[in-house]
């Protein structure tokens, strides 16, 4: 899968591209089943909400789960990012965000590159995110919110929030968010399982808590150009990866083949 010239232009101007129907039901059903098994594991990579029970996010699942290993090298995800970053990429971070029904907590306003620069010394924002919906995302279950064109502002001043949620984050002030929204507006992409959001590492985003009875599971692949790899290694390897080997994509049917193997 390759992006068109107009899609690439939209990404650079707006900071994102929304792509529906990138994975089919067989693929997303497989990944959703595996995600719920992972959320039940007692592993250090599985971070819980403040209730210490509900899974908030599962890091590095591609290291200990076959379905997610294959997802991390899927050509429908990796090839467009190589186009946008103009070259080979490695996996900087991999996580499955649960945003569980009733108990999924807020992700405050932030830029991902703000964290990668401050915590990991990633040299430049030559990195980006893939957000893959595993559940239908609606206006009710904690949809992601983005501020279009906010990536043009560079890396913004941020404070290190260590108390609002169970996971620390470099967050942006309400005053700065207000000004950015006045200039760029707000979007909250909705879509069925298999939809994908590609977005710039400096695009400001966040999501509210999930008060609905519907889960909102999203997988995030954070990819970085191999020439732009991190220089500081203070965070755990399962949070900020240290293998800078270029990703070699797998066959397009890699997830479907696994689903068939499991069904046999």
CA distance linking residue 105 with residue 211, whole number of Å: 9
Pick the closest to residue 110 from 129, 124, 95, 96 (CA basis): 129
CA 124 to chain centre: 18
pLDDT for 162 equals 62
Indicate if the pLDDT at residue 256 is higher than 90: yes
> What domains are there in the chain, each with its CATH number?
5-255 (2.60.120.620)
In 3-state terms, what secondary structure has residue 157?
A: coil
Report, as an integer, the average pLDDT of 214-229. Answer: 97
Section 107-120 average pLDDT? 93
At 175-205, the pLDDT tens digits run 999 999 999 999 999 999 999 999 999 999 9
Looking at residue 107, its pLDDT comes to 82
Confidence grade of residue 105 (pLDDT, cut at 50, 70, 90): confident
Of residues 50 and 212, more confidently modeled? 212
Indicate the helix (H) or strand (E) that contains 13.
Answer: helix 5-14
Q: Are 153 and 42 in contact (CB under 8 A)?
A: no
Q: For residue 198, what are the contacts with CB-CB under 8 A and spacing of at least 6?
A: 11, 16, 17, 18, 19, 80, 81, 84, 128, 129, 130, 131
Instruction: Report pLDDT for 264.
Output: 83
With 80 as the cut, is the pLDDT of residue 166 above it?
no
For residues 59-78, one letter each, b for 16 or more C-beta atoms within 10 angstroms of the residue's C-beta and e for the rest, the string is: bbbbbebebbbbbbbbbbbb
* Averaged pLDDT, 11-23: 97
Neighbours of 262 (CB within 10 A): 12
């Amino acid at each position: 899968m390759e992006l068109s010239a107009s899609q690439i232009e939209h990404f650079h101007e707006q900071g994102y591209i929304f792509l529906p129907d990138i994975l089919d039901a067989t693929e997303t059903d497989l990944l959703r089943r595996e995600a719920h098994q992972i959320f039940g594991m007692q592993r250090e990579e599985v971070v819980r909400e403040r209730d210490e029970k509900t899974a908030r996010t599962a890091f590095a699942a591609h290291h200990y789960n076959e379905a997610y290993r294959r997802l991390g090298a899927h050509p429908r995800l990796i090839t467009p990012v190589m186009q946008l970053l103009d070259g080979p990429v490695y996996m900087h971070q991999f996580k499955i965000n649960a945003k569980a029904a009733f108990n999924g907590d807020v992700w405050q306003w932030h830029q991902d590159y703000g964290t990668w620069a401050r915590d990991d010394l990633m040299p430049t924002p030559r990195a980006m995110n893939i957000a893959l919906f595993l559940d239908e995302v609606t206006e009710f279950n904690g949809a992601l919110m983005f501020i279009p064109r906010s990536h043009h502002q560079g890396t913004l001043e941020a404070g290190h929030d260590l108390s609002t949620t169970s996971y620390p984050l470099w967050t942006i002030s309400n005053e700065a968010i207000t000004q950015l929204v006045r200039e760029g507006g707000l979007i909250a992409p909705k879509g069925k399982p298999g939809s994908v959001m590609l977005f710039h590492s400096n695009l400001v985003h966040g999501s509210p808590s999930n008060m609905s009875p519907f889960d909102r599971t999203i997988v995030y692949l954070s990819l970085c150009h191999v020439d732009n790899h991190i220089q500081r290694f203070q965070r755990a390897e399962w949070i900020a990866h240290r293998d800078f080997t270029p990703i070699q994509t797998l066959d397009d049917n890699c997830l479907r083949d696994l689903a068939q193997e499991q069904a046999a």
